[in-house]
Structure 1
Amino acid sequence: MSTDFWVTLHTALGWVLVLSNGVAGLWALGAIRWAALRHRSLMWLVGAAWVLVFVQLTAGVILMRIAAVQAPAFHVFYGACCAVAVFFVYAYRQQLAHRRYELFGLGALFIMGLGIRAMFLGG
């Protein structure tokens, strides 16, 4: 596969990561106030948005290694921070079960922010 394919895939996945985490975060925070938003599909969206972090990270590593693209150091840093943030939020899900929507909402918005920051530094 060509370098253009990996660049396009990585860019598209970056936008999907940012948008999906933004929607999931706002939905989860809205579920705090409105019980009608507390639906199982919210948790599926959060899970899919967070799995996408690792898909995006994998695509970035493939782009760097196979296509020999050199990424800015802080772009890689913020990408790795997204994965670490997913691990931290997931690790605290049992201890903060009584604040599940706050944890997942703020966690998803934080990951969205890290993704935006990575996109700006990616060039």
Structure 2
Amino acid sequence: MLHEIRHALRTLLETGNGSIIDLRSIPLAPGEEDTILDALGCGEVHAKLNALGPSEIYETRFSGVWMVTHYNAENDVISRFIEITRFPNILESQREDMTTSLDALEALLDTTPGSDKTETHAETNT
């Protein structure tokens, strides 16, 4: 498995194409998944998500190699993926959600005394 991850990380660096390994679709011997998790370790970035059930996302000790785990209501693992990518898709803000947020911020500014909607201090990425 580590060889496959190494190959996927090399491909990501060379082509920009990421990979996803579904650990629950691979027949693993008892304890093998834990061995893989131990080998990958845990890095600096860790996120928890609550959408259609709890999820945990963390970058392993290898930059660009992420562990994404989804749980059911009883906190049992229902799916686990190794994502080799710059940033897991599940953490990316959706355009529709950002549009809703922009509308909410504009409504808040409309009701806030003394606020000027044109005033900005944020830098934009170009």
> TM-score, structure 2 length as denominator?
0.27
Query: Quick check: which one's helix share is greater?
Result: 1
* More strand per residue: 2
Higher RCO (C-alpha 8 Å, min separation 6): 1
Report which of the two structures shows the higher radius of gyration computed on alpha carbons.
2
